[in-house]
Amino acid sequence: VGDLNEFCSEVPNWFSISKHPHRNCIYDEIKAVVKLKGIDLNDAFDQHRRYDIDGFPKNFGLGENGVMLRDLSDKKVHDICDMWWDEYSKGIKRDQCSLMYCFWKLGYMPDLFSQSIFNKYFVCHRKHG
């Protein structure tokens, strides 16, 4: 496992998350999760429709959300996390399907770093056998 200080120094934003490796859009993520049968179709439709009516744009960005770097002294972080919890509580129980909406709604944008969560900083790879 690599030195996390090195990693953190490369990602200096007040809220940084790893970019989703396959999608860039909450709407696409909702559809993908429905196909995987991970969420109720009606709940998915309701959340998708609510975001669409509110004007949330397609391809706003999507986080993998496995690793988050947050400056907990920044009020914006608390605003985002409070709203995110509210969205998660009343909507789909998948964190990727609401976080970017919260950023957009509050007028913020996180740093989306390109390193996957499967890298030298977070995963220790060992040979088997």
55: alpha, beta or left, given left = phi > 0 and alpha = psi -120 to 50?
left
Element holding 19 (H helix, E strand): strand 15-19
pLDDT tens, position by position, 4-55: 666 666 656 788 888 898 999 999 999 998 888 778 889 999 999 999 999 9
Confidence of residue 125 (pLDDT cuts 50, 70, 90): very low
pLDDT at 124 (0 to 100): 46
Provide the whole-model pTM.
Answer: 0.82
| One-letter-per-residue 3-state SS of 44-89 | HHHHHHHHHHHCCCCCCCCEEEEEEEECCCCHHHHHHHHHHHHHHH
Please state the φ and ψ torsions of residue 68, each to the nearest 5 degrees: -130, 130
Confidence of residue 128 (pLDDT cuts 50, 70, 90): very low
pLDDT tens, position by position, 41-79: 899 999 999 999 999 999 999 998 887 888 888 999 999
Please state the φ and ψ torsions of residue 2, each to the nearest 5 degrees: -80, 175
Of 22, 11, 8, 20, residue with least CA distance to 111: 11
